[in-house]
Amino acid sequence: MCENRLMKKPSLQLMRSILGNTEGASDVECLGLLINLACDRRAARSLGEPRGIQMLFRRAFATHDPLLMKLLRNLSQFEELRLHFVDYLPNLASVIVRLEGDPPQTIELENEEDKDNESVDSQFNDFDNTGNAEDCFSLECLGVMANLQLEELDFARVLGDLGLLSWAEKVLEGVGQSHHKDDLVLETIRMIATACVDVEAAKMVALSASPVISRLIRLMNCKADCSS
pLDDT in single tens digits along all 228 residues of the chain: 434 444 455 566 667 666 766 555 567 888 888 999 999 999 999 888 898 899 999 999 999 999 999 999 999 999 999 999 999 999 999 999 998 754 433 333 334 444 444 444 444 444 444 448 899 999 999 999 999 999 899 999 999 999 999 999 999 987 655 455 889 999 999 999 999 999 999 999 999 889 999 999 988 888 787 776
- Rounded-to-integer distance, Cα 131 and Cα 134, Å: 8
Find the angle CA(32)-CA(36)-CA(41) to the nearest 5 degrees: 145
Give the pLDDT score at 30: 82
Give the pLDDT score at 205: 95
Rg of the chain on CA atoms, in Å: 19
Whole-model pTM over 0.75: yes
Burial of 228 (0-12, 13-18, 19+ CB in 10 A): exposed
Q: With contact defined as beta carbons under 8 Å apart, do 99 and 135 qualify?
A: yes
Give the pLDDT score at 61: 96
